[in-house]
Amino acid sequence: MDTLSATFAALADPTRRAILSRLAMGPANVTELALPFTMSQPAISKHLKILERAGLISRSREAQARPCSIQAAPLQEVVEWAGGYRQLWEEGFGRLDSYLQDLQTKEKPDAKRK
């Protein structure tokens, strides 16, 4: 599987996205990462393995602990891929903005009559 596909597969799960959000604040161990969830540490560990295989996190060893840290490189690849569609979004938003301005212009004469 290519890295972009692995990244999207890992990001498809809301639990894994929440774990990444937490790791964006700094390293954490499995116990700390499991706290906000109603799932076991082994279940969190499975999510961490998926994130690690996708290259989104790394684990180090500090005595008994294995703190996890976020790795941004795969996320940058997602940003670059999505950026290819930016012009389409901006054009769509531009058309929507024009349409809304037209609606507001048409509504103003009616508002004065009331």
pTM of the model: 0.74
pLDDT of residue 7: 95
> What CATH number is given to the structural domain containing 42?
1.10.10.10
- Asked if residue 79 is part of any domain, the answer here is no
Residue 95 structural domain: 84-114
User: What confidence tier does 51 reach under pLDDT thresholds 50, 70, 90?
Assistant: very high
pLDDT of residue 98: 85
Same domain as 19, residue 47: yes
Same domain as 70, residue 88: no
pLDDT in tens, 53-103: 999 999 888 777 789 999 989 999 999 999 888 888 788 787 888 888 888
Instruction: Kindly state the percentage of the chain with pLDDT values over 70.
Output: 94
3-state secondary structure 12-64: CCHHHHHHHHHHCCCCECHHHHHCCCCCCHHHHHHHHHHHHHCCCEEECCECC
